């Protein structure tokens, strides 16, 4: 998208990745993760980070060889060819991203209303803020990649300053007894919590979608990918120590969406609570911004290959019409549906897509010059995390396997229909 401008440099790409990762996940899911792994949640974050690092290596090598705004879509095409299978995976990736963005928008709305008097809060108030943040960042993305990158550098800087400050202060005042291993659950529970903690890293893939806007993607992309994951991994572990070193597990679980703000109370008082809550708003907004940029590039790539209607790839302002269409879908989903279970299916779907991508990478290693052991490990770890996530989600929703099967069926059916539409639209142009 606007290749001549090349506005995305190393730190801009890192900011995009960090912005996408440090979004609703760490703020909204920390309590849920602690309900499974307790104060040992930091171990789960380390394991999730390791899986992300191996995946980042594989995707980084693919991105260096095949720099494309389509990211994973392009890598699947190179490995498996353009067709039904690649298209289905692409549609699944798109659906998962839209669902995730809807959840982040709802999370933003939930945080925003906490600053209003309780008598002014209604369900419409939540929707107002959720819709408003989507409309705002659709507008920012319409102005082009340069403005997206500038916003990410600013918001990522704010998030890191606040969260780093909270982590350092929290560790300074830590109560060793709260972190004692005698409070840890079984190793199985720590592994099952990967179903949640990996989701907090999942956003690193958006860096692959910046490749066409990089001056030297072969050098910048892999380094930016690994740097972003490592920074976030260190931050998450430090936050886990700060939170669970100052609050009993029960209080963290009770606070849920506001666990980080709750952890700031005994250290900084009400002011700290407010600052962290505001940072949560910035974090969710930043995640929406980065992921909207990535989704637009994915739909553009799919449209270019005839796997989505041509409208998704048509220029509008400094972006593509896919941005507008995606924004409308996100708003509709955030208004009409409870997306908690669908989000779980979405995260499992993304792990499936990662596994398939890494397996495809093994077919073209001679092109990417990647390490076979490292790429194979990436595939195995992604598959393992997916299986663990399935087992965990199945415990709370025993029909989740059927929902997942239905999700795959929907993606494949959509691909069949969209390919037919795309062929009809392309045919007149060819003639």
The per-residue pLDDT for range 247-303, each reduced to its tens digit, is 888 888 776 666 777 778 877 888 888 888 888 888 788 778 777 877 777 777 667
Instruction: State how far the Cα of 8 lies from the Cα of 15, in Å rounded to an integer.
Output: 10
pLDDT at 421: 64
Confidence at 377, pLDDT banded by 50, 70, 90? very high
Superfamily of domain 10-426 in CATH is Amino acid/polyamine transporter I (1.20.1740.10)
**Domains of the chain by residue range:** 10-426
Closest-CA residue to 216 (of 67, 367, 19, 368): 67
Instruction: Select the highest-mean-pLDDT range: 59-68, 253-262, 319-328.
Output: 59-68
pLDDT at 1: 40
Contact status, residue 183 vs residue 259, Cβ threshold 8 Å: no
Contact status, residue 385 vs residue 270, Cβ threshold 8 Å: no
Mean pLDDT of 157-182: 84
Phi, psi torsion values for 316, nearest 5 degrees: -150, 125
Give pTM, 2 decimals: 0.81
Mean pLDDT of 133-152: 72
For 88-115, what is each residue's pLDDT tens digit? Answer: 888 888 887 787 788 788 878 877 887 8
């Amino acid at each position: 998208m606007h290749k001549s401008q090349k506005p995305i440099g190393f730190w801009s790409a890192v900011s995009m990745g960090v912005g996408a990762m440090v979004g609703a996940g760490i703020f909204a899911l920390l309590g849920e993760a602690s309900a499974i792994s307790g104060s040992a949640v930091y171990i789960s974050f380390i394991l999730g980070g390791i899986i992300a690092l191996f995946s980042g290596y594989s995707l980084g090598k693919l991105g260096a060889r095949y720099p494309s705004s389509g990211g994973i879509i392009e890598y699947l095409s190179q490995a498996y060819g353009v067709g039904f299978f690649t298209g289905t995976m692409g549609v699944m990736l798109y659906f998962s991203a839209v669902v995730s963005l809807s959840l982040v928008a709802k999370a933003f709305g939930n945080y925003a209303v906490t600053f209003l008097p309780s008598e002014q809060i209604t369900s419409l108030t939540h929707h107002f803020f959720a819709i408003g943040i989507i409309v705002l960042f659709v507008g920012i993305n319409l102005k082009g990649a340069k403005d997206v990158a500038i916003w990410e550098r600013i918001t990522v800087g704010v998030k890191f300053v606040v969260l780093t400050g909270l982590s350092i202060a929290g560790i300074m005042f830590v109560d060793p007894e709260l972190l004692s291993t005698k409070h840890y659950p079984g190793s199985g529970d720590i592994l099952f919590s990967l179903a949640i903690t990996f989701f907090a890293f999942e956003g690193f893939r958006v860096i692959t979608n910046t490749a066409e806007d990089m001056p030297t993607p072969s050098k910048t992309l892999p380094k930016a990918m690994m740097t972003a994951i490592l920074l976030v991994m260190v931050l998450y572990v430090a936050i886990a120590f700060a939170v669970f070193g100052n609050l009993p597990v029960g209080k963290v679980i009770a606070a849920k969406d506001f666990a980080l703000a709750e952890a700031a109370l005994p250290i900084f008082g009400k002011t700290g609570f407010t600052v962290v809550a505001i940072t949560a708003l910035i974090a969710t907004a930043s995640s929406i911004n980065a992921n909207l940029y990535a989704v637009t590039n994915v739909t553009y790539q799919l449209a270019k290959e005839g796997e989505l209607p041509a409208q998704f790839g048509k220029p509008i302002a400094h972006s593509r019409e896919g941005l507008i269409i995606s924004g409308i879908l996100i708003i509709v989903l955030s208004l009409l549906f409870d997306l908690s279970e669908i989000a779980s299916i979405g995260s499992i779907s993304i792990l499936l897509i990662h596994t398939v991508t890494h397996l495809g990478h093994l077919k073209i290693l001679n092109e990417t010059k990647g390490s076979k052991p490292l790429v194979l490990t990436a595939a195995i770890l992604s598959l393992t995390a997916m299986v663990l996530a399935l087992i965990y989600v199945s415990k709370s929703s025993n029909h989740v396997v059927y929902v997942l099967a239905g999700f795959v069926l929907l993606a494949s059916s959509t691909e069949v229909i969209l390919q037919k539409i795309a062929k009809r639209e392309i045919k007149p142009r060819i003639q």
